[in-house]
Structure 1
Amino acid sequence: MALIVFLFSVFFISGLFAAFQEQQEVTVEPGQEATLQCRAPPDAAVLLLEWNRADLSSEDYVFFYREDRLYPTYQHPSFRGRVRLRDPSSVGAGDVSVVLQNVSSRDAGTYTCRVTAGRGGSGGEHTESEHRISLTVATADPPEGTTDEGTTDEGTTDEGTTDEGDGGTGAAEDAPISPIIIIIVVSVIALLSLVASLGFAVAYRHSKAVSKRSSEKARAEKEAGRQMMERI
């Protein structure tokens, strides 16, 4: 039983680590373009391409592309006119990467690319794939003569309003939990499960041994009593 738990834990942790390895890390400065890479099967037609961000609702998309056409009405207002395919002519070859223009701190977060591809027309085989990209927007150095609690170029403090006056969300709020922390937590849980299983196994064997010794002692005492009765 302990061996089964240990092997399951190893496979689970390996799969989790591999999944996090697939997540890309992209860092840009405010005002720059961010390329979010994603691939589809090169020998299949892209039927549906969805780009989302973790903090958006399921009905708001960063980019929505279907049947060789972009649907801007499905995009979140903050992304309309700022997201395009990196190379529309390469979609058929499996390149469904997008470019996010004029990046700001409000764009930081974890983006998910979901691709539905098909072979043999609408009635053929369909495949789905998913990729994650973590976008970090580097913080520019503050101007000389100002402190972290001082005023920015727009005359507001770090705790004040953003350019649009809505309080904004920084990269720290959207940043995903570190994969290393999750792997460590899962490893600790798996180790505790293994220790508990070994403890139960040892306790069970010990109880069986004690029960066996008690039975043997009882039989010996019974036999000794019988022999004494015979001598009498």
Structure 2
Amino acid sequence: MPALLGGVTVLASDPDAQASFWQRLLGLERRGTTLLPGPAFPFPITFEATAEPLVLPSQTHLHLTSNASTQEETVARAVGLGASYVDVGQQPDEDHVVLADPEGNAFCVIEEGNQWLAGTPLLGELACDGTREVGVFWSAALGWPMVHDQDGETAIQQDPAGPKIAWGGPPLDERLGRNRVHLHLVADDPDDLDAEVERLVALGATLRTRGTDVELADPDGNEFHLRGSP
């Protein structure tokens, strides 16, 4: 059986402040530095401390939709909470707005009527730098259907009302330091982590450290964690 997506982990210099910003922006409940699942996103988001400085570009950034409120309203709310406008090379005619959270992590607010994210929650997509191979890997690892596979770009989605995870295909950005955002998985059989590690390695993952919290890397070298319980 595929592993379950247990949540998203975000490294932060100040986890409490980051959790506060994103809690208020997404409207999720919070326990410590973990945002609990809710209408805005169906998986927990945990902010963990790091001493490493933010190095751009990030391998993963977030896309917020305008399915429940307007782009203007979401941008104004984000800026009021401490976000800022940022230039990451977007073209003047592009419809999305690029912002940075208080620690400088870029995220996009997508325009109303965007068909790609139609029906998804407020946090509608994890947009990642990555090859087609890594999209195929994650589809098999999680058991999520591939909903896009064209010209090296891929995307997976558990159900039409849930968020997407997408990979932009080549050329890839140079990887500089540890990823700021990574996934953690929960083994279908919590009593047999070894079997799940073997399955993921057979799919193309690389084992890095083994313990009750196993660290692996996907075929592109993105670290992720496997646990026996959420």
- Return the index of the structure with the highest Cα Rg: 1
TM-score w.r.t. length of structure 2: 0.23
Structure holding more strand per residue: 2
TM-score of the pair, normalised by structure 1: 0.23
